[in-house]
């Protein structure tokens, strides 16, 4: 079908120009900033002893010095015994405290004095084996239940993750604008993922076109939102850390909005393939159904799916932000305006994420329904003639 080839060509051109646009957003070094570099060697170490000493007590606050003795398990200092020193209050939750026998990741300074608190940094407990176990469990569940389609979905997911970690992140760290790169990667991921999972069918093409246009429109919505809302409202502490840790001027607004697009990508692909599959079944049952009636039927199916999809999207954000919800509850004190709570940066960030993701879904449903009906109606008309 020449029309289909033309539409695919158009979508690929859009993805190409978005990538080209991102290439024009050249990064610049942050002039006047000097980056402090502390050469560290990293390794795993086992906690063999913990000493807690009372240092002082001021204003009923007990100040302690904690010495954590470590045996280095690998790296250039393997076998050596090191000591990490921490000072201050011992008021961390019990679950956060290290225990004798824990294996942790450490950083050993190449410049600090051996007896100083800066010499050894303890990062996180080594959960590598547990991570491997969980990944294997997930893969087994997907393969055993989903079989071939499960394997295909895993392969598609790997492709998307490779694009994010080996294209988006390196280019962003070089100073390129993250948002256009994200949109280009999202469209490319849609073109790769959906055919792998569902095969090469007319419904796949309809889902690809609907999802791609939905992502592009969601991108424009994100850009508009980014300019309307003050920059600090959508920038998290993690993003600020990246900004100050890097010697490249990173576009924080683009980075924040890119995260919102990626978060909604899976849900948009899901709903688009559901709509196109429903269209395929409607035309299979009644090939001569009028175009208007078919569109109305598909749209009815789409609105039913939309309710659960929006719930899925919103609840996913809520589930990952329970601590923020607790902060909301803590801030709702007598005399504090409700709008003040909603404008709290982490809360506002989640609100914007939810809105952009939901609107992306709203847009994708009628788009995919319209494209699907047009393609199947044209196919049936060609077969009849």
Q: What is the pLDDT of residues 138-148, one digit of tens each?
A: 889 888 888 88
213 with 93, same domain?
no
Closest CA to 15 of 169, 212, 206: 212
Looking at the predicted structure, is the pLDDT value of residue 212 above 60? yes
User: In the prediction, which pLDDT does 234 show?
Assistant: 60
- Whether residues 264 and 321 share a domain: the answer is yes
Which range of 64-73, 258-267, 270-279, 320-329 scores highest in mean pLDDT? It is 270-279
Are residues 305 and 222 part of one domain?
Answer: yes
Give the pTM. 0.71
Is residue 93 domain-shared with residue 15, that is, in the same domain?
A: no
Range of the domain at 183: 2-28+175-384
Query: Which pLDDT score, from 0 to 100, does residue 31 have?
Result: 45
CA neighbor of 218 nearest in space, from 336, 383, 355: 355
Q: Which residue has the higher pLDDT, 248 or 208?
A: 208
> pLDDT category, 279, cuts 50, 70, 90?
very high
Asked if the model's pLDDT at residue 199 lies above 60, the reply is yes
pLDDT attached to residue 18: 44
Q: Is residue 11 part of a domain?
A: yes
pLDDT digits (tens, 9 = 90+) for 156-198: 888 888 999 999 888 888 888 888 899 999 999 999 989 988 8
- Higher per-residue confidence, 385 vs 87: 87
Residues 6+ apart with CB under 8 A from 77: 41, 43, 108
Q: List all residues 6 or more positions away from 236 whose beta carbon is below 8 Å from its beta carbon.
A: 256, 345, 346, 349
In angstroms, the CA 53 to CA 210 distance is 64
* Rounded CA separation 28/209 (Å): 35
- Tokens representing 205 are 């093409």
Q: Please, what is the average pLDDT of the chain?
A: 79
291-300: buried (b, 16+ CB within 10 Å) or exposed (e) per residue? eeebbebbbe
What is the spatial order of strands in the sheet that 61-72 belongs to? 81-89, 61-72, 40-58, 103-109, 120-125
Give the mean pLDDT of 280-305: 90
Residues 217 and 261 in one domain: yes
Higher pLDDT, 249 or 236: 249
Average pLDDT over residues 54-80: 80
Same domain assignment for residues 206 and 297: yes
Number of domains in the chain: 2
Q: What is the pLDDT of residue 15?
A: 45
**Of 95, 128, 161, which marks where a domain is finished?**
128
What pLDDT sits at residue 7? 45
Cβ(174)–Cβ(27) under 8 Å? yes
> What percent of the chain is predicted at pLDDT more than 90?
25
Better-scored residue on pLDDT, 229 or 265:
265
143 in a structural domain? no
Q: Alpha-carbon distance 171 to 178, whole Å?
A: 8
Of the residues 128, 149, 183, the one at which a domain ends: 128
- Segment 248-255 mean pLDDT: 78
Q: Could you tell me the pLDDT band of residue 37, with boundaries at 50, 70 and 90?
A: low
Rounded Cα–Cα distance for residues 72 and 82 (Å):
7
In this structure, the answer to whether residues 104 and 215 fall within a common structural domain is no
Which pLDDT value is given to residue 182? 92
- Average pLDDT of span 56-83: 82
User: Which of 93, 111, 128 delimits the end of a domain?
Assistant: 128
Residues 120 and 191 reside in one and the same domain: no
pLDDT of residue 369: 93
**Residue 324 in this model has a pLDDT that exceeds 50:** yes
Among the listed ranges 29-33, 49-53, 64-68, which one has the minimum average pLDDT value?
A: 29-33
Residue 361 maps to a domain: yes
* Count of Cβ atoms closer than 10 Å to residue 74 Cβ: 11
Q: Are residues 7 and 56 in the same domain?
A: no
């Amino acid at each position: 079908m020449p029309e289909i080839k033309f539409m695919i060509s158009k979508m690929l051109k859009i993805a190409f120009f978005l990538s080209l646009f991102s290439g024009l957003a050249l990064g610049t070094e942050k002039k006047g900033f000097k980056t402090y570099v502390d050469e560290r060697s990293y390794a795993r170490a086992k906690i063999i002893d913990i000493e807690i000493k009372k240092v002082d007590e001021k204003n009923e606050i007990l100040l302690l010095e904690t010495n954590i003795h470590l045996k280095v398990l690998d790296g250039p200092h393997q076998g050596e015994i090191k000591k990490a020193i921490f000072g201050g209050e011992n008021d961390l939750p019990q679950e956060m405290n290290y225990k004798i026998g824990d294996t942790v990741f450490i950083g050993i300074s190449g410049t600090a004095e051996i007896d100083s608190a800066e010499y050894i940094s303890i990062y996180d407990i080594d959960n590598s084996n547990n991570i491997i176990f969980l990944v294997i469990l997930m893969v087994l569940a997907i393969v055993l239940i989903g079989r071939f389609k499960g394997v295909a979905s895993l392969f598609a997911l790997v492709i998307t993750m490779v694009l994010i970690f080996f294209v988006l992140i390196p280019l962003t760290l070089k100073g390129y604008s993250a948002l256009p790169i994200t949109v280009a990667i999202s469209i490319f991921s849609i073109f790769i993922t959906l055919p792998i999972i569902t095969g090469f069918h007319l419904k796949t093409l309809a889902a690809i076109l609907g999802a791609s246009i939905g992502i592009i429109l969601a991108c424009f919505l994100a850009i508009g939102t980014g300019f309307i809302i003050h920059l600090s409202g959508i920038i998290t502490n993690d993003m600020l850390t990246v900004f100050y840790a890097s010697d490249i001027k990173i576009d924080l607004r683009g980075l924040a909005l890119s995260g919102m697009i990626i978060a909604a990508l899976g849900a948009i692909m899901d709903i688009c393939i559901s709509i196109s599959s429903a269209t395929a079944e409607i035309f299979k049952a009644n090939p001569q159904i009028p175009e208007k009636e078919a569109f109305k039927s598909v749209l009815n199916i789409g609105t039913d799916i939309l309710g659960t999809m929006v719930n899925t999207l919103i609840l996913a954000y809520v589930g990952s932000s329970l601590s923020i919800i607790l902060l909301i509850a803590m801030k709702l004190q007598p005399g504090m305006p409700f709008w003040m709570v909603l404008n709290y940066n982490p809360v506002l960030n989640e609100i914007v994420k939810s809105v952009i993701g939901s609107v992306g879904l709203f847009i994708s449903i009628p788009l995919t329904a319209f494209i699907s009906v047009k393609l199947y109606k044209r196919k049936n008309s060609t077969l009849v003639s």
